Amino acid sequence: MGGMPSLTRDQILWAAIRIADDEGPDAVTLRRISSVLGVHVTSLYNHVPTRDAITDGMLEVLLAEAKLPTHPVPWEEWVRRFFAAVSDIATTHSGAFHATSHRPVQGARATASFEIAIAAFIQAGFSTLDAFAAVKTVVLLAGSVGQEQSQSARGESLETRLADLPAEAFPLVRSIAGTAQPEDAWAFALETVIAGLRARLEA
């Protein structure tokens, strides 16, 4: 007689991602995942023994889905692809992105592209420490942009209530209302970080 198919770590993590996206990041618990998968909660412990292990695994799976470079590429290509990947994750899996945005990357699968990135910056002329700092800068800025995108995707208001501000005291801020687009600011952030890194290299 055949038994039930073995539960895999990826099945558990994708269930967690779906829960975060559909119900919000706070809904992701071992008990909720076991309920969705139709298994006893103890069946999860060998794969994801803690809540942090679930969060780390969710980020690992999302980064793998984003198909970041895993072979040598020029540093600027890596930066652009990383920004695009974070943007895609933040808008497609907004709940899961929020759940994972405060945890550092863990594991070989999730870290592989960062090894590629450091090598790309070193190849371009950065020292090893500056290459690490460059990657860290890109990750921090892209993460901040992604956090705003995920909030927007979840329907959370990101706008200052300009109507509450007196026009005579804030003429410039009020003049931008309705014209400034978040996408333009996100694109500006990407081009600014690339220009800044290029300037550091040229110096």
Give the tens place of pLDDT for each residue, 16-59: 999 999 998 889 999 999 999 999 999 999 899 988 999 999 99
CATH number of the domain that residue 39 is part of: 1.10.357.10
The domain of 197 spans 9-202
Quick check: is 4 in a domain? no
- Output 40-46 pairs: Cβ under 8 A, ≥24 positions apart: 43/7, 44/7, 44/12
Residue 82 reports pLDDT greater than 80 = yes
Q: How far is CA 3 from the centre of its chain?
A: 38
For residue 1, tell me if it sits in a domain: no
Phi-psi region of 67 (alpha: psi -120 to 50; beta: other; left: phi over 0): left
Residue 10 to residues 16, 17, 58, 184, 194: CA-CA distances in angstroms?
10, 10, 9, 36, 34
> pLDDT at residue 1 above 60?
no
What is the overall mean pLDDT for the chain? 87
In a domain, 82, yes or no: yes
- The predicted-structure confidence for 97-124, as pLDDT tens digits, reads as follows 888 887 778 878 778 889 999 999 999 9
Length of the chain: 203
Instruction: Give domain status of residue 182, yes or no.
Output: yes
Render pLDDT for 144-196 as a digit per residue (tens, 0 to 9).
888 888 888 777 766 677 777 888 888 888 777 667 677 888 899 999 999 99
Q: Which of 78, 82, 83, 80 is nearest to 123 (CA)?
A: 78
Name, of 61-75, 85-99, 127-141, the range with top average pLDDT: 127-141
Share of the chain above pLDDT 90, in %: 50
* Contact assessment for residue 69 and residue 111, using Cβ atoms and an 8 Å cutoff: no
* pLDDT reported for residue 5: 58
3 is a domain residue = no
pLDDT for res 2: 44
Q: How many domains in the chain?
A: 1
- Cβ atoms 28, 42 nearer than 8 A: no
Gap between the Cα atoms of 79 and 21, Å rounded: 26
| pTM, entire model | 0.82
- The span from the CA of 192 to the CA of 197, in Å, is 9
- pLDDT exceeds cutoff 70 at 201: yes
